[in-house]
Structure 1
Amino acid sequence: MVSGRIARPALKVALVVGTVLNVINNGGRIMAGQAVDPWHLVLNYLVPFCVSAYSAARNEAARERGD
């Protein structure tokens, strides 16, 4: 489980980056009123969240080890 100290900033990153990715990847379809694959929408938010949370957790672990 990810601590709140890691999850909250990762969620903020995911919201910003995920929104940008959705505009880039699906903006034309959304503006045209076409259907967008919900799985792709979710992944555009999930991937930045996972990357941000992993990076923060790894940095925190390294700091605790004294690296």
Structure 2
Amino acid sequence: MNQNSFISLAFSKQVMFRAIKVALLVGTLLALINHSEKILTMTLSGEDFIKIVLTYLVPYGVSTWSAVQAIKNV
């Protein structure tokens, strides 16, 4: 696989580490904004749990895509 392919760059240690940090920060803030009452009262349903997981995956994906595009355009 080409060193500059999207997949190679997306799974590089540098990009993944940064994306995880962004996802943890942004995902936590969004989860608290959107689900704080259910988190605090521990009344999360299975559907709520899936929504929270997606809340973390979206900023991870956006950060990964942005970092890969920045690296490819250098």
- TM band (smaller chain): 0.7 to 0.9
TM-score (norm 1): 0.86
From 51, 60, 63, the equivalent of 2:71 is 60
C-alpha separation in 1, matches of 2:40 and 2:14: 36
Aligned counterparts of 1:34 and 1:51: Cα–Cα separation in 2:
29
Q: How does 1:1-67 map to 2 (within 5 A)?
A: 1=7, 2-36=11-45, 37-63=48-74
Q: Deviation per CA, 1:17-55, whole angstroms, max 9, x where unpaired?
A: 000001001001112231242111111110000000100
Task: Report the count of equivalent residues.
Answer: 63
Deviates more, 1:52-61 or 1:37-46: 37-46
Where does the alignment leave 5 or more consecutive residues of structure 2 unmatched? 1-6
Identity of aligned residues (%): 38
**1:50 maps to amino acid:** G
Q: Which runs of 5+ in 1 are unaligned?
A: none
